[in-house]
Structure 1
Amino acid sequence: TTGIDNAFAALVPVLESIGAAAVEGLITDAINSGELLILAEIQRVDDVENDSCVDLELHRGEGLPLMGTDGNIQMDQTFLVDPSRPSTFAEGGQIAHRTFEIQDITISLPVQILDEFIELDLEGASLQLRWLDNGEAVGRLAGGVSVSSLAGQIGAISDIGSLQDAVPALLEGAADLWPDENGSCTHLSVGMDVTARPAFLLYPE
């Protein structure tokens, strides 16, 4: 994955200042090391060019990926589905002109701050992937992160000093999605570019 933007992008320098150095790099490194393997299984596909009714199941994977000389994960590897992490299933996806798209899914991305991990839970997310001739897919993942959830997780970290009290206000000021009954936005928009490579899934017995 490369690139984080929208409202969350304005907070990246703040997160980096409290120990989440290079948020984008941390996510990429976690994927390449096998700590954050997200396996996207597109189901009920009758036609990879155009199909109006397909499903998506997202799994967390186990295993150390083999890396190519270009620094990217090699294609067509086999990964074990992690039985300790729940999978996410969503219906109502579609493929049009070799581009897969699905709306309203939830996906969690862990980010390390100092010695703690926080979960970026993308709610109401959309995923779009376009298959290329070489077998990989490129696209976009976008959704919203709850301000209250993120503020609570960051606030529970004891080593961030004076920013512990400032973070909730910073998050509330940056929120730009889904206003409540008082008109205050409750979520931060997050969007990122995604590159996916074909792989085989192995389910535990």
Structure 2
Amino acid sequence: MKTKGFSRLLPALCLGLFLVGCGEEDGPTATSCETGETYAAITTKLAFARLVSPTVAPGFDLDGRTSDGTDSLSCGKADFVDSEGHGGVDNQLAPLVPEVEKFVGDAIDGLLQGSINDGQLVILMEMENVDDFKNDACVNLAVQVGVKKRPTLGTDGIIESYQTFEPDMTATRSYVRNARIENGVLETGPFALAIPLAIFDVAFTLSVQDARFRLSIDEELKFKGHLGGGVLPQEILDGVADGDGLEDLLPQIKVLLEANTDLAYNEDTGKCEQLSATLDVEGVPAFIRR
């Protein structure tokens, strides 16, 4: 069975065959997580978000607090403001990415993108119970690794839409219920997400704690936005430990990561156990064969 591409059913939605239409609305309608259709997409970009300026970074308020650098629960790390002026943004990995690249070379994002483009890193997403891509009060979202397959790229070097992929049934399927779409932006609440990475000649799965998505969906139903959450520094270090030429650099990277943790404060140790992080994410409609 193939899961429908994101845009297959849009004309039907606009004709009112389901609960809501595609007209202008002020906010999500009272749709149900038991109606609507399922649509699939493949991730075409995954990159570590950078600072916009010393105080501005993309991301999420992961801990529900705005920290000024004196907050012990954030281990003395000041929050950022996003480009729209929202405060409390937790993204301590953003300023560290250039520092890590000083050790390993300016190639982290390129390695990730290369893995996606050559089909070694296939990240599939499914939106379930979608009634309207403009405003929908309740949709579910699943994320799963796909079977390795070299995709067709467009002239822009990006994976083309509406190709067929198969899920890796041995991999974890991360799932979040009761997400919402408002004014064309999908937002999820926190959930446990296993995200695959392939860098430094190694592939590993990173567990993102309290993960959240914020994805803008355009008229072609391609998506673009951010994934944020907390990560465990040791899990990153273990994942890249066998990377070519990294053995001598791991102690320095370990110090850098652990010195900047800002989430999951442990009263017994007086330390934060997680590092807040944000990834840039993009994708296009696809089909999933089961």
Flag whether TM exceeds 0.5 (same fold). Answer: yes
Who is 2:39 aligned against?
none
List aligned pairs for 1:80-91, cutoff 5 A. 80-91=166-177
| Deviation at residue 202 of structure 1 after TM alignment | 0.6
Who is 1:168 aligned against?
254
**Cα deviations by residue, 1:11-32 (Å, 9 ceiling, x for unpaired):** 4355446657511111111111
Alignment partners' CA distance in 1, 2:182 and 2:145: 26
Task: Give the counterpart of 1:92 among 164, 178, 203.
Answer: 178
Contact 1:145/1:190 (<8 A) preserved: yes
List aligned pairs for 1:108-119, cutoff 5 A. 108-113=195-200, 115-119=201-205
Instruction: Give the unaligned 5+ runs of structure 2.
Output: 1-44, 51-90
Question: How large is the Cα RMSD of the aligned pairs?
Answer: 2.4
Q: Give aligned pairs, total.
A: 202
Who is 1:144 aligned against?
230
Who is 1:41 aligned against?
126
**In the alignment, structure 1 residue 77 sits paired with structure 2 residue 122:** no
Deviates more, 1:157-166 or 1:121-130: 157-166
Alignment partners' CA distance in 1, 2:266 and 2:234: 12
Who is 1:59 aligned against?
144
Alignment partners' CA distance in 1, 2:247 and 2:146: 35
Instruction: Give the unaligned 5+ runs of structure 1.
Output: none
Who is 2:135 aligned against?
50
AA of the residue aligned to 2:280: D
Alignment partners' CA distance in 2, 1:154 and 1:139: 26
Q: Whose Rg is larger?
A: 2
Who is 2:206 aligned against?
120
Contact 1:4/1:24 (<8 A) preserved: no
AA of the residue aligned to 1:4: A
SS at match of 1:175: coil
In proportion to residue count, which structure has more helix? 1
| Deviation at residue 162 of structure 1 after TM alignment | 4.1
**Paired-residue identity, %:** 31
**Cα deviations by residue, 1:40-93 (Å, 9 ceiling, x for unpaired):** 101011222222111111121122111000111101111111122121121121
Who is 1:4 aligned against?
49
Distance 1:156 1:197, change over 3 A: closer
AA of the residue aligned to 1:55: N
In proportion to residue count, which structure has more strand? 1
| Deviation at residue 200 of structure 1 after TM alignment | 0.7
AA of the residue aligned to 2:177: E
SS at match of 2:188: strand
Alignment partners' CA distance in 2, 1:155 and 1:3: 19
Alignment partners' CA distance in 1, 2:207 and 2:225: 19
Distance 1:161 1:64, change over 3 A: closer
AA of the residue aligned to 2:208: L
Who is 2:283 aligned against?
196
Alignment partners' CA distance in 2, 1:199 and 1:166: 41
AA of the residue aligned to 2:187: E
Q: TM-score, normalised by structure 1?
A: 0.85
Contact 2:172/2:194 (<8 A) preserved: no
Alignment partners' CA distance in 1, 2:253 and 2:273: 15
Alignment partners' CA distance in 1, 2:258 and 2:158: 36
**In the alignment, structure 1 residue 28 sits paired with structure 2 residue 113:** yes
